[in-house]
Structure 1
Amino acid sequence: MATHDTDPQDRARFGRLLGAGIWLFFLGNPLGALFRNDNQLERYSGVVALVVFVPVYLYGLGQIPRFHIERRYLAAWTYVSVLLACFAVTIPGAGDQSMTCLVFISALAVAILPKWQAGGVVVVTFAAITAAGFWVDGWSAHGNNFAVLLAAAAVWSFRLAWQRQAKLMAAERDLSELAVEEERARIARDLHDILGHSLTVISVKAELAERLFDDDPVRAKAELEDLQRLSRDALADVRSTAQGIRGISLPGEIASARMALESAGIEPLLPTVADEVPSRWRELFAWTLREGVTNVIRHSEASTCEVELDADRIRVTDDGRGPCPDDGSGNGLEGLRQRARLAGATVTTSAGPGERGFSLTVTVPA
């Protein structure tokens, strides 16, 4: 049989009820006083009131989030009023021991009412118990007035902790939604970069093939073959982007490199298309472009960066200060070399034209 994890809200509710239920044994004081009362009507009416008091109190505690999230404060006052009515019914039979009920009423009020209303209930309850201990003949507060303050303070601390947890969970949900929206926007940008040019070229070649179909069938066939290749490449790029948060596309990297270089104050001399690069080499070339441009921005102090892109080669060249002291053997280039080895390609680094700057070249098998 399959098992399912308990919902976090159910666990929190169970924890509240368990914590509250432990303290209900203090209701043994009014219950004992009721059973010592010889008046059967007062005794049994008080017992029934306590029997109603306990589940109403526990159910109210179990609904704390709903009272605050849905602002059901009228219903919260209804629960408090029911408990006050039960307390009133126990007074004739339990006497001053009935004031133990006010401790639980104050705790529930602090848990489910707006803070200023809850504070008012606590003050009134404390004053009522204290006054009754002084002014009602034969009655004593039995420390219930101070128990009200302690219970209110404890419940208030739990309430603050719950509110902080609720805000944290809401913030996590907002961050998750924001991350999803940002990822959707990123995919949309990548798809625009990938398909914008590819579909335009496909449309132009399709029109050319249609015009050449009667006059030059051989060239028309070549154009149709190009259409098939371009379609497969565009589809591969789309699949890579859609699968892939971890995916990387060459057209997308060209667009990103242009933006990054311009932001760094470096003039980008980049190709506008990547159609002649076969789909099997596009990911490797994209990683090469990313690593090369990153190094130019970080280390070169260059004014221009040029990218040359062919079917079997990509070269990233700058006119900066030249290779780093480690001779270009940093972690990024080493990772690129590993990728190239897996693909059967070679990585070459050298000085740029005129012995200025730095050149990174990746050559793939023909």
Structure 2
Amino acid sequence: MTQRTQRERSGSSRASRDAVRSGAAGAPVASPPPGAADRSGKEPWARFGWLMAVIWLVFLVYPVIALLHSTAPLGWVVTGWVALVAFIVLYVTGFLHGMRGGGGLGRPPTPRQWITFALLIACALVTVPAVGGSALSFLPFIMSFASYGLTRLWHWIATVAAVVVAAGCVLLIPGNLTYASVLAIVALLGVVNTVSTWLILRSAEAERLGLELATSEGREAVARDVHDLIGHSLTVVGLKAQLARRLMDTDPERARAELADIERLTAEAIAGVRQTVSGARATTLIEQLAATGDSLRAADIRLETTGGPEALSPAQAITASWILREATTNVLRHARADTVRVLFAPGRVVVEDDGIGCASRAVDGNGVRGMRERAAAAGASFSIGPAGASGTRVEVTW
């Protein structure tokens, strides 16, 4: 049966998205790029991204200093402290909510994000009587929350409004020229947020299109496999049926042998179609892992997994599911194993068994060659070799 390799562009897409994240690290961010929450606990961004919100809060030291030296009435000073603490809590919790799929950057914001954004603005305004021009230090956080946590329209509204407010305070209010550096930061941050969010959205769109392309090519490959299998089998069956009809009277024994061959070919074709359709039906790595577990249990082989399929990007998961399927088939046919271990990590999948080892099986057969071709088409490296004292280890790394 012919197998058509899938062409996946997940490596470059993911690399560009990671680069954008690094480039945006110079600004306080309210929500991660799309997909970061999908691999929560698997990547440094998902584990420690909340630290970015906390670290950038150091810039609120200016309102703190202003409150400590404020000459405003005590009521306004107390109100300023309460508003400052509320701003910090709202910003950090809003950041965490965005990381957990709250929306933004192409995803519809939740009502909680809109409420948080409004409260952030209110808290900043309430501190003005006590801190004066130091309240401009709240603008970068409000801008970033709108850019990364709300819609594209509100990114522009918040950016333009922040620049206008900062410029007005610095240029029109006497004695506020000392805040010119804040105006420069606000303007620079507006440019950074505009570019970084645009690149993140483009990267996410490219990955989505890559996934659609890979899925489409996978369907085409299945259609071609089924067509080739059925076409070849029916051709052979038709020829043998004609031969059996001609031999029915002159050589009954040979006719019966041809009919037996027809029966065998038909059974093989049905089995092949079922296998192909089964592979097409397991369109996700999660489903393929479940199918692998069922197959191994039927052969009294224990399956152990480390990590989860969500460690891989959607495009990588397509290739990983095909390779997991073929590796499982090899184990069932050749390994005589008791245990199969599957490891999932960001950009990496490993299938390992404790069987008789790859030295005793054909490592250049169609199955292994197909896995190697699929990995190469996905921009990944493929390796197969011994696993410890015995067994076989198959590894794919992006």
**TM-score, with normalisation over the residues of structure 1?**
0.53
Matched, 1:101 2:158: no
Distance in 2, matches of 1:199 and 1:40, equals 96
Distance in 1 (alpha carbons) for counterparts of 2:240 and 2:188: 77
Distance 1:32 1:185, change over 3 A: same
Within 2, Cα distance between the matches of 1:55 and 1:219?
Answer: 91
Q: Number of aligned pairs?
A: 235
- Kindly indicate whether residue 157 of structure 2 is the aligned counterpart of residue 125 of structure 1: no
Q: 2:57: which partner in 1?
A: 24
Match of 1:41 in 2: 75
Are the structure 2 counterparts of residues 141 and 112 from structure 1 closer, same or farther at C-alpha, using a change threshold of 3 Å?
Answer: farther
Larger radius of gyration: 1
The residue number in structure 2 matching 1:86 is 123
Shift of 1:170: 1.0
**Aligned partner letter, 2:262:** L
Distance (whole Å) between structure 1 residues aligned to residue 162 and residue 251 of structure 2: 96
1:52-85 Cα deviation digits (max 9, x unpaired):
2224334444527722333338765433222101
The CA distance in 1 between the partners of 2:149 and 2:178, in whole Å, is 25
Any unmatched runs of 5+ in structure 1?
Answer: 1-5, 245-338, 340-366
Select 1:174's aligned residue among 171, 187, 212: 212
C-alpha distance in 2, partners of 1:242/1:103? 58
CA distance in 1, matches of 2:108, 2:130: 36
Shift of 1:19: 3.8
Give the Cα separation in 1 of the matches to 2:227 and 2:156.
54
Residues of 2 paired with 1:70 and 1:7: CA distance?
13
1:239, CA displacement in angstroms?
Answer: 5.5
Q: Does structure 2 retain, via aligned residues, the 8 Å contact 1:126–1:146?
A: no
Equivalent runs, 1:226-305 vs 2, <5 Å: 226-236=258-268
Tell me the SS of whatever aligns to 1:230.
helix
Amino acid at match of 1:43: V
Q: Could you tell me which of 106, 112, 119 is aligned with 2:149?
A: 112
Change in Cα spacing, 1:22 to 1:161, as seen in structure 2 (3 Å) is farther
SS in 2 for 1:72: coil
CA contact (8 A) 2:105 2:201 kept: no
Structure 2 portions without partners, runs of 5+: 1-36, 277-364, 366-398
Aligned equivalents of 1:121 and 1:49: distance in 2? 20
Distance 2:46 2:193 in 1: 14
Paired amino acid for 2:61: G
Query: Relative to 1, partners in 2 of residues 1:228 and 1:148: Cα closer, same or farther, differing over 3 Å?
Result: same
Q: In the TM superposition, what whole-angstrom CA distance separates every residue of 1:191-211 from its partner, at most 9, and x where no partner exists?
A: 3213323454677788899xx
Extract structure 1 runs of 4+ deviating beyond 6 A. 202-209, 240-244
User: 1:71 is paired with a residue of what secondary structure?
Assistant: coil
